[in-house]
Chains A and B, each alone.
Chain A
Amino acid sequence: MAVRSRSSANTESPDQGTAGSLKKVTIPVSGMSCAACQGRVQRALEQEPGVETANVNLMLGNATVLYNPAISTPEHLVETVRGTGYGAQLPSANQSAVADQEAQDRAQQDEFLEYRRKAGVSLLVAGLAMLFSMPLMMANATVSGKSPADPFMAWTMRHLNPPLMDTLPWLYHLNSTLLLYVLLAMTVTIMVWAGRHFYIRAFAAFRHHSADMNTLIAVGTGAAFIYSIIATFYPRLFLDSGIAPDVYYEAIVTIIGLVLVGNALEARAKRQTSIAVRTLITLQPDSARVLRDQAELDLPIDQITSGDIVVVRPGERVPVDGVITRGESAVDESMITGESFPVMKSQGSHVVGGTINRTGSFQLVATDLGADSTLQRIVRLMREAQGTRAPIQRLADRISAVFVPVVISVAIATFVAWYFFDTQAPVVRGFAASVAVLIIACPCAMGLAVPTAVMVATGRGAQWGILIKGGEALERAQAVTTVVLDKTGTITEGRPAVTEVVVLDPEYHAERLLALAASVESRSEHPLADAIVVYARSKAIPLFEPASFESHTGGGTSGRVDGQEIAIGSAAFLERRGVSVQSAALPVSVGSEQQTMVYLAIEGKLAGTLSVADPIRDTSRDAITRLTRMGLDLVMLSGDHRRTAEAIAHAVGISRVVAGVLPEGKTDEVKRLQSSGEVVAMVGDGINDAPALAQADVGIAMGTGTDIAMEAADVTLMRSDLRGVPLAIHLSRRTMRTMKQNLFWAFAYNVVGIPVAAGVLYPVFGITLSPVLASAAMALSSFSVVGNSLRLRRLHAG
């Protein structure tokens, strides 16, 4: 069952499975308020043919039914529950993150196809309408002695009329009333067929005292339609005032066509913003080869249960998360971690569903399935991330909330102003300008400016193995001034290893020393002890069972092994036990600054030393150079002694070191930096330093690709490569720049477009904007914003 987050949409995957030939389905049931209701639903289900057992849960509001699929279906069971008077729905409504994304994709694809079809037909009809309106405009111009007031119509008349008269002279001999009626019929058809949703949605919003994009289109084209109807049936009203009774039919059809083109472009671009999530979803194989009763069965993925043994062959995708029980292979995890080289996996290694098995065959025991699988968790996290709001959007939100009513007010004021100040055709020009104001205004560009950038950026990050928690994390990451790095497990591998064994007493050889040391240490839980035991095992040295063992906190261990008294630990620990350490003649290489020395005494006499070091990751130096080049201050935190910590810091190029820090001290250090005005990113393994990650402005957790603390940090690096940190900050900086550009253009577009449409340029330059051109501008504005966000898809690392 899925882990429920603190507050979440109901997106758990339906609990479906099989038992023999029976199937299990969990149906959400609503409206049950007491045990009697529960009993009624349960009885009804149990009496249903084909139902083996039914278990109705009042608290969870669902019914889990085991049924025979040959006799009954989930649809049937839902009907049975509904028959009892309670609400029920198919479990598909309870969707997993993957199903949710698929549903959204399908909706967006359908939307795109519908818009595209309607836009194409509308523009075709608009072309015809334009032809038919030419003779009418010419006739009106002849009657009134003026060319059309609408600049676009005047332009088309000037340029299209002469060639049209040559090619289609018969058009100019048609009855003008007939032409008007044909135009009216075309317009009504397009308004009803292609533009119906504008009016229905605008009305629905109006009923709720709200207004949106559709309101502007509906009011704009609706007003133009009413104006044209009056001009068609009562032309005298215009002619008596000396105004040509121009109609706007072709403009209405063109506007609807162009707005639909804009909608189609926007729908397609919106689909592309979630391409990264979609790519992840396609990684999930549909079936798996499972070992049951010594036989290999191909089963659908939703029938795999935890504990199943799954067989994976070379070239196949690993179907589910699991632990390898037999065999070994190189596995390509690039789709999850961004790591381009295949990773060797052997017995005991964790593998992730969706990765590709390259070389060998292996068997794995399935562990995390369904909503708990790594792939589903990443998809869920990405969908949540793409849903978050960046703080920078607040201004756009505040404007969006009042935008449409304000634009309608401006349109009315525009008409009044033209009526007052224009001397030639105040009503016609005022009207055209008002419609242009309504049509050019585009709240969508503002609404899309930030979310599309967040979507594309989180997707781009995921391709690099960087999971970003959302818009706010992106926005904070770009402002980071100081990066605090935990040493162990971040800059270094986090796994201490023995690097050198030195024999000081010629009575013993190295294997004997190691055997004795590892035997005592095998009882200790200290990481250094672990390193010694692992090293001895790797050399295939047999260990003894210690006869006695004692751990000395902060010093070392002692015990009796194979008849000899052993003490192993720090120099101070041995000195306290009366073993002289200072006089030992160690080779120059031993005890270099990055290593920790462990001394071994046998029967109270120093016999040798072991050097243990936590190796620096290959990529750490490069990452730190990049961070420094980006102008960031770096601080390394370490629980080690100053000398060791400084040596590591020096080796990778960090000058500020805080050594001897306890886990809780890390949080204090982050706080101290924050109080001095720094914006701090803390990089850690996400497990031991979770409080410090939470305290930092941006917490960056380094995962291993399989053990992911995704929910805990703002940014999760899916592989243990510190270079993800400069990459994440680089991505956030570029995203922030994109958001600002988008917001600037969306605001600028409206701030410039609306006054120009209203006619502010007319008194000085004589420029007015036709509603048709306004609709073309609007169609492009949303698209340009989404297009700018999509450029982040091509962002290069570096």
Chain B
Amino acid sequence: MNHGIVLLAGLAAIGWVNWYFFLAKRGPVVLARTDQSGRQEVRIVVHGGYDPATVEARAGVPLRLVFDRQETSSCSEEIVVPAFGIRQFLPAFQKTAIDLPGASPGTYDFTCGMSMLHGTIKVR
């Protein structure tokens, strides 16, 4: 009896861990604002992850990502946007702007320096 409960609880826990970290929905998609000069901008809070973690932007329009790092954890001290060859140190409790050129439609990832925190830019 006990064995059965432990087995079921174990399987359920494993299932939940994998669902939560890999499959569960991660916050809303945020659309980048376009200012009068035509540049898109979005603010991303860095605190144990990226909020919003998914940003939507228009194709062919320069995009500024303003990372607002609200922690000192070294895990998030760098931001990497591999498709644009960017790796940038983010000072703690400061905003750091990353300028991207107008991109073609597609999905571009951004991660922390060790590829453990993830975010996505969806360009349409």
Whether B73 and A397, one on each chain, are in contact in the complex, defined by CB atoms closer than 8 angstroms, is no
B97 touches A409 (CB 8 A): no
B37 near A58 (CB under 8 angstroms)? yes
Question: If the complex has contacts A103-B89, A204-B48, are A9 and B97 also in contact, measured as CB distance less than 8 A?
Answer: yes
> Smallest Cβ distance from A417 to chain B, in angstroms?
9
Q: Is the CB of A212 within 8 A of B117?
A: yes
Query: A201 contacts B77, CB within 8 Å?
Result: no
* Across-interface contacts of A210 in B (CB, < 8 A): 21, 48-49, 116-118
The answer to whether A9 and B96 touch across the interface, beta carbons within 8 angstroms, is yes
> In the complex, what residues of B have CB within 8 A of residue A508's CB?
none
Nearest residue (CB) in A for B74 is A111
User: Which A199-233 residues have a C-beta within 8 angstroms of B?
Assistant: 201-214
Establish whether residues B118 and A207, one from each chain, have CB atoms under 8 Å apart when the complex forms. Answer: no
Q: Are A401 and B116 in contact (CB under 8 A)?
A: yes
- Please determine whether B74 and A416 come into contact, CB atoms closer than 8 angstroms: no
- Any B CB within 8 A of the CB of A681: no
Residue of A nearest to B20 (CB): A209
Residue of B nearest to A403 (CB): B116
CB-based contact A409/B117 at 8 Å: no
CB of A412 within 8 Å of the partner chain? yes
Residues 90-118 of B contacting A (Cβ, < 8 Å)? 91-92, 94-101, 111, 113-118
Q: Which residue of A lies closest to B7 (CB)?
A: A416
The reply on B86 being an interface residue by CB < 8 A is yes
Cα distance A412–B10 in the bound complex, in angstroms = 6
Q: Indicate whether B26 reaches chain A with its CB closer than 8 angstroms.
A: yes
**Distance (whole angstroms) from the CB of A201 to the closest CB of chain B:** 4
Binds B, one of A76-84, A330-338, A443-451, A654-662: A443-451
Write the nearest CB–CB distance from A194 to chain B, whole angstroms: 15
Measured CB to CB, the nearest residue on chain A to B84 is A7
| Cross-chain contact B82 with A204 (CB below 8 angstroms) | no
Interface string of A480-508 (1 = CB under 8 A from B): 00000000000000000000000000000
CA distance A100 to B6 in the complex (A): 52
A408 / chain B contacts, CB cutoff of 8 Å: 17
Q: How far does the alpha carbon of A61 sit from the alpha carbon of B39 in the complex, in Å?
A: 11
User: Are A387 and B88 within 8 A (Cβ)?
Assistant: yes
| A571 proximal to B (CB < 8 A) | no
Closest A residue by C-beta to B37: A59
CB atoms of A6 and B101 under 8 A apart = yes
Total A-B contacts with CB atoms under 8 angstroms apart: 156
Q: Would A205 and B48 be within 8 Å (CB), given that A9-B99, A10-B99, A443-B114 are in contact?
A: yes
Cβ proximity bits A517-547 to B, threshold 8 Å, 1 near / 0 not: 0000000000000000000000000000000
**B37 close to A211 (CB less than 8 A):** no
Determine which of B10, B53, B80, B114 lies in contact with A444 in the assembled complex, contact meaning CB atoms within 8 Å: B114
B89–A10 CB distance below 8 A: no
| Residues in A neighbouring B71, C-beta threshold 8 A | 201, 204
Binary interface profile of A, 358-388, with partner B (CB < 8 Å = 1, else 0)?
0000000000000000000000000010111
Is A34's beta carbon under 8 Å from chain B? yes
Once bound together, how far apart are the Cα atoms of A213 and B76, in whole Å?
A: 12
Q: Is B124 an interface residue, CB under 8 A from the partner? A: no
Question: Which B residue sits closest to A8, measured CB to CB?
Answer: B99
Interface pair B115/A447, CB less than 8 Å apart: yes
Q: Considering the chains assembled together, what is the distance between the CA atoms of A392 and B14 in angstroms?
A: 31
Known contacts: A204-B48, A211-B21. The answer to whether A93 contacts B75 by CB under 8 A is no
Q: Does B85 contact A (CB under 8 A)?
A: yes
B68 to chain A, nearest CB (A): 11
Flag whether A96 is at the interface (Cβ < 8 A): no
Asked whether, in the complex, the Cβ of A447 is within 8 Å of the Cβ of B101, the reply is: no
Answer whether residue A400 sits at the interface, using C-beta atoms and an 8 A cutoff.
Answer: yes
Known: A107-B91, A111-B74, A443-B116. A209 touches B26 (CB 8 A): yes
For A92, give the chain B residue with the smallest CB separation. Answer: B94
A549 to B88, CA, bound (A): 58
- CB-nearest residue of chain B to A57: B37
B75 adjacent to A409 (CB under 8 Å)? no
A212 to B86, CA, bound (A): 22
Contact yes or no, A208 B49, CB < 8 A: yes
Q: How far is the CA of A178 from the CA of B102 in the complex (A)?
A: 67
Chain A residues with Cβ under 8 A from B117's Cβ? 205, 208, 210, 212
Interface centre among B49, B98, B100, B115 (most CB of A within 10 A): B115
The chain A residue with its CB closest to the CB of B18 is A405
**A290 close to chain B: CB less than 8 A:** no
B29 within 8 A of A: no
How far, in Å, is A394 (CB) from chain B's closest CB? 9
Determine if A420 is an interface residue (Cβ-Cβ < 8 Å).
yes
**CB of B24 within 8 A of chain A?**
yes
Chain B residues near A444 (CB, 8 Å)?
114
Q: Kindly provide the distance from the CB of A219 to the nearest chain B CB, expressed in whole angstroms.
A: 10
Residue of A nearest to B47 (CB): A204
Q: Complex Cα distance A89/B18, Å?
A: 42
A599: interface (CB < 8 Å):
no
Residues of chain A within 8 A (CB-CB) of B101 are 6-7
Contact between B116 and A89, CB atoms less than 8 A apart: no
Chain B 9-40 residues near chain A, CB threshold 8 A: 10, 13-14, 17-18, 20-22, 24, 26-27, 35-37
Check A201–B26 contact: CB distance below 8 A. Answer: no
Select A401's contact among B36, B85, B115, beta carbons within 8 Å.
B115
23 A-B residue contacts at CB 8 Å?
A7-B100, A100-B89, A103-B89, A107-B91, A111-B74, A197-B72, A204-B49, A205-B75, A208-B49, A213-B116, A214-B75, A384-B85, A397-B115, A401-B116, A402-B22, A408-B17, A409-B14, A409-B18, A412-B10, A413-B10, A416-B7, A419-B6, A443-B116
Q: Which positions in B face A, CB cutoff 8 Å?
A: 3, 6-7, 10, 13-14, 17-18, 20-22, 24, 26-27, 35-37, 41, 47-51, 53, 71-75, 77-78, 80, 82, 84-89, 91-92, 94-101, 111, 113-118
